[in-house]
């Protein structure tokens, strides 16, 4: 009883705690931004605009879902942008055999990239930054080699449909990103694999002592991240109607890490916040769109983004030190 009265009393006299901010801050910020836009931005609450925003953020969400899993294991994957480019570069080479074989090749490439990253992290024991740096550097070069350094127009109608089709008025890429978010949330919260991954991120030594297959779990996480990045590459290619290995996925690793961190997943591992990651991606997307719509230049957007990242991590740090 005393406790029940003590808590709200404290809440009245103090600002919400940093734990509260880490838990709900991203949603609060997103809500504030939405309300601001609804009130002050012309034609913000139109179906067209909302659809555009969602379509633009969809590839980031898909990559960030994989990144959230990796960061949950106290890792990081710098190679996601290069993986997108690789998947995109391979598509035109195999589209002649039809969409399904080309898609399978692209996704398989993502899996192979993830397998290499995962093996370097779990078997060789490299730091994730170094392990994935090699494919960040080499992957895009490989993509350019496959594509002969050229941008290739995509004419395959099946692939283009992935970028333009809608389901009940919702663009297909948005539906796919949403379904994947649900799937990853399910994976994290309801499956043994997900729980074991979180356990490995929380305390690897303890997880190993408890008999968890640490190496296999870590590798699996990087493979998932690679496949998701490859899928994002395919969808981005379909949206662009061209395979552009030199610029597709540039800086995607930064956007994805940002979404995950702003979403409240700690860089120290041990927790994966799927919904937070989606909200983090949406927040960064909306922030940029808002500033652009109010005629503030891109430079301001980048500085604002930096400030939000720092705020999110500062809050997470407070939480950890308790």
Partner 1 sequence: MNPTPALGLSEPATARPEGPAAPPAGRAPATTGRERLLSLVQRQGVLAVLLAVVLVSSFVYPTFGTLDNARGVTVQASFLAIVALGMTLVIITGGIDLSVGSVFALGGVLAAWASQWGIVPALLLPLVVCGAIGTVNGLLVAKAGMAPFIVTLASLLAARGLLLAITHEGATTYLVPRHSAFAELGQGTVWGFGHPLIVALALFGLGGVLLQRTSFGQTLFAVGGSSDAATLMGLPVARAKVTVYLLSGLLAGLAGAINAARLSSGVTIVGVGMELDAISAVVIGGTLLVGGAGTVSGTLWGVLLLAVIQNLINQIGSLNSSYQSVVSGGFLILVVVAQRYLVRGRRTT
Q: How far is the CB of 147 from partner 1 (least distance, A)?
A: 9
Give the E-state strand segments of the chain in sequence order. 152-153, 166-167, 170-171, 242-243
Contact string 261-290 vs partner 1 (x = CB under 8 A): x-----x-----------------------
Task: For residue 184, give the nearest of 278, 104, 256 by alpha carbon.
Answer: 278
Backbone dihedral angles phi then psi of residue 244, each to the nearest 5 degrees: -125, 80
Burial of 259 (0-12, 13-18, 19+ CB in 10 A): buried
322 binds partner 1 (CB under 8 A): no
> Which span sits near partner 1 by CB under 8 A: 10-18, 56-64, 229-237, 253-261?
253-261
* Residue 302 interacting with partner 1 (CB under 8 A): yes
Q: Which residues pair with 152 in a beta bridge?
A: 243
Closer CB to partner 1, residue 132 or residue 163? 132
Other C-beta atoms closer than 10 Å to the C-beta of 306 total 11
Q: Which residues pair with 153 in a beta bridge?
A: 242
Q: Which residue stretch of 22-30, 101-109, 141-149, 188-196 sits at the interface with partner 1 (rule: CB under 8 A)?
A: 141-149
Is residue 299 a contact point for partner 1 (CB under 8 A)? Answer: yes
Residue with tokens 């993509």: 143
Q: Rounded to the nearest whole angstrom, what is the least distance from the CB of residue 273 to partner 1 in the complex?
A: 16
Does the protein bind partner 1 through residue 178 (CB under 8 A)? no
Structure tokens given for 228: 């998701």
Question: Quick one: which of 163, 173, 179 has its CA closest to 60?
Answer: 173
Q: Does 228 bind partner 1 (CB under 8 A)?
A: no
Among 258, 265, 277, 290, which residue interacts with partner 1 (rule: CB under 8 A)?
258
Say whether residue 319 binds partner 1 (CB under 8 A).
no
Residue 321 interacts with partner 1 (CB under 8 A): yes or no: yes
Least Å distance, CB 40 to partner 1, is: 23
Nearest-angstrom CA–CA distance, 245 and 234: 11
- Beta carbons within 8 Å of 167's beta carbon, 6+ residues apart: 175
- Selected binder of partner 1 within 204, 239, 273, 288 (CB under 8 A): 204
Q: Which residues bind partner 1 (CB under 8 A)?
A: 74, 76, 78, 120, 124-127, 129-131, 133-145, 148-149, 203-205, 254, 257-258, 261, 267, 297-303, 305-307, 309-310, 313-314, 317, 321
């Amino acid at each position: 009883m005393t406790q029940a009265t003590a808590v709200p009393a404290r809440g009245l006299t103090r600002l919400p705690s940093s734990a509260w901010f880490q838990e709900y801050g991203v949603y609060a910020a997103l809500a504030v931004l939405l309300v601001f836009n609804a009130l002050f931005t012309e034609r913000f609450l139109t179906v067209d605009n909302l659809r555009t925003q969602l379509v633009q953020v969809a590839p980031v969400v898909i990559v960030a879902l994989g990144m959230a899993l990796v960061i949950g294991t106290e890792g990081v994957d710098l190679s996601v942008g290069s993986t997108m480019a690789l998947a995109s570069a391979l598509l035109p080479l195999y589209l002649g055999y039809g969409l399904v074989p080309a898609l399978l090749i692209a996704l398989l490439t993502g899996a192979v990239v993830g397998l290499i990253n995962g093996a370097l992290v779990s078997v060789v024991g490299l730091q994730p930054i170094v392990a994935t740096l090699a494919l960040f550097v080499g992957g895009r070069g490989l993509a350019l080699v496959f594509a002969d350094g050229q941008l290739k127009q995509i004419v395959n109608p099946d692939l283009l449909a992935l970028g333009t089709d809608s389901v009940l008025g919702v663009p297909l890429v948005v539906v796919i990103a949403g379904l994947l978010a649900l799937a990853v949330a399910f994976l994290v919260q309801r499956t043994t694999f997900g729980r074991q991954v979180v356990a490995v991120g929380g305390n690897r030594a303890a997880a190993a002592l408890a008999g968890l297959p640490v190496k296999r779990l870590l590798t699996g996480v990087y493979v998932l991240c690679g496949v998701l990045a490859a899928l994002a590459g395919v969808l981005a290619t379909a949206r662009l109607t061209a395979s552009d290995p030199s610029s597709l996925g540039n800086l995607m690793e930064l956007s994805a890490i940002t979404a995950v961190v702003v979403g409240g997943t700690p860089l120290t591992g041990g927790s994966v916040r799927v919904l937070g990651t989606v909200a983090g991606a949406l927040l960064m997307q909306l922030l940029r769109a808002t500033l652009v719509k109010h005629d503030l230049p891109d430079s301001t957007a980048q500085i604002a983004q930096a400030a939000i990242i720092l705020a999110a991590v500062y809050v997470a740090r407070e939480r950890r030190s308790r």
